[in-house]
Amino acid sequence: MNEMRVIRGKSGTNQEGTSAHNRRVMIDALRLNGKLSRADLARASGLTKQTVSNIIDDLEQDGLVVSLAAVRNGRGQPSTPYRLVPEGAFAIGLQIDRHVTRVIAVNLVGTVLVRAEANLPPGGPAKGVRVILDLIRQVRIELAGVAEHSEERLVGLCVAMPGPFGLAPDNDDQWMMAAWQSFPLLETLAAGTGLEVALQNDAAACATAERMVGAAHGVDHAICLYLGYGIGAGLILNGELYAGGNGNAGEIGMALLPPSAGRPERSPLEHRASLASLYQHLNADPADPKLHDRLNTLVSNADPAVASWIDAAAEELRWGVQLIETIFDPQTVILCSSAPEALTRRIFDAIHPLLPSIADRRGRALPRLQLGMTDPWSVALGAAAEPISRAFDPRFSAILKTRASAGGW
């Protein structure tokens, strides 16, 4: 007798008016598991076999799924597995940082097809947005050259940039991108590209990337602690990215820390443990195009200035991990960074041993803290994954609204 396969997936609903949600459930299950038969999909979602068959037929007709060769399991009838069609949809992600902008195009399964970057000129967003629009145009042209029908299957554009959003601009705070915060960025990009445009902070974008193709793939409760110019946390709760009431959920870098040795006043976490604090410590220019290579060299040579910063930053980040575990009870915390991998790994190692917390228990399936993406392109990748998620991932909040509008439960 064959052992029943464990299939990851979310529940569908057989209630009237929820076909769009069920389509998303099918797509999500295929993304998580790679390929599934109709019977597998019915078992994973709790939907009837007829409902699943109808949805799969529609998805196949829409060019989002494709059938594979039938396989025989045991003595039963052969079954036909289905998988997603990577060319079924495309999306563009844009990262705006203080000195550089990056654009990535991905397909339905998150494969990077085209990417490009450019330095942002002085003069603020009025000049910078022209560079960005040119870069997006270039990426779309290159995408059309490698993926047929990409323009008609382009589901959107997402911008990722440092938060928090919606606060009064503070031109004296070097951690804030005050000019970009007050610029009509989304409206300008929508008018210039003709695409639907969304906004994420960089930590949320990293979490989106980890959820689609990284360490958070298939994990329902994960927090991505992002170490960039500032510090943020991307929150994956109940399998969905949580943004908060104003898009600022997870801004842990803003958490005020008590005075410590050499720091007589309270200061935010990111003033002590972000890459910006490292640049200050080294008296380095964050706009230096060779800074990434320089950091690699310093780490490999065990530079004492870098080592002292790592020890101090790790102490603060160790507290941050414990705070995240206590508040959110995640299955795992994932350390992500735009820093060189060697530096991030040194920080990761220095954070251990972790502080005692409610997460320190037997029978864990995942480590309390694991290393995620350390690629400078990970924020742009997560931004590109967001329109895919927006178009195709299950949204249970939408189901609640559908049921409420239908007259309750």
Of the candidates 51, 84, 117, which is a domain's last residue? 84
Per-residue model confidence as pLDDT tens digits over 205-217:
999 999 988 999 9
Residue 397 domain-assigned?
Answer: no
Same-domain pairing of 122 and 251: no
CB atoms inside a 10 Å sphere around CB 306: 19
Per-residue model confidence as pLDDT tens digits over 14-46:
454 477 889 999 999 999 899 999 999 999 888
Distance between CA atoms of residues 282 and 306, nearest Å: 8
User: Following CA atoms 32, 93, 333, 166 in sequence, which dihedral angle do they give, to the nearest 10 degrees?
Assistant: -130
Same-domain pairing of 93 and 22: no
Instruction: Supply the CATH number for residue 21's domain.
Output: 1.10.10.10
Instruction: Supply the CATH number for residue 360's domain.
Output: 3.30.420.40
Same-domain pairing of 151 and 228: no
Domain range for residue 39? 1-84
Same-domain pairing of 264 and 340: yes
Nearest to 25 by CA among 6, 44, 38: 44
Residue 279 domain-assigned?
Answer: yes
Average pLDDT for 155-176: 78
Residue 408 domain-assigned?
Answer: no
What does the pLDDT read at residue 289? 85
Per-residue model confidence as pLDDT tens digits over 250-279:
999 999 988 876 677 889 999 999 999 999
The number of domains in the chain is 3
Residue 402 domain-assigned?
Answer: no
Asked whether residue 386 carries a pLDDT value surpassing 50, the answer given is yes
Residue 403 domain-assigned?
Answer: no
What is this structure's pTM?
Answer: 0.87
Same-domain pairing of 124 and 183: yes
Same-domain pairing of 53 and 150: no
Same-domain pairing of 170 and 114: yes
Same-domain pairing of 31 and 112: no
Distance between CA atoms of residues 326 and 177, nearest Å: 30
Of the candidates 84, 103, 123, which is a domain's last residue? 84
Residue 364 domain-assigned?
Answer: yes
Same-domain pairing of 77 and 94: no
Same-domain pairing of 62 and 150: no
Residue 93 domain-assigned?
Answer: yes
Residue 400 domain-assigned?
Answer: no
Same-domain pairing of 80 and 92: no
**Do the bridges between strand 65-67 and strand 256-257 make them parallel or antiparallel, or are there none, so unpaired?**
unpaired
What does the pLDDT read at residue 397? 52
Task: State the amino acid at position 341 in one-letter form.
Answer: E
Same-domain pairing of 80 and 94: no
Per-residue model confidence as pLDDT tens digits over 103-131:
999 999 999 999 999 999 988 899 999 99
Report the chain's mean pLDDT, rounded to a whole number.
89
Please write down the long-range contacts of 163-167, taking CB distance under 8 Å and 24 or more positions apart.
163/201, 163/202, 163/203, 163/232, 163/247, 163/248, 163/251, 164/201, 164/246, 164/247, 164/248, 164/251, 164/254, 165/199, 165/201, 165/246, 165/247, 165/248, 166/246, 166/247, 166/248
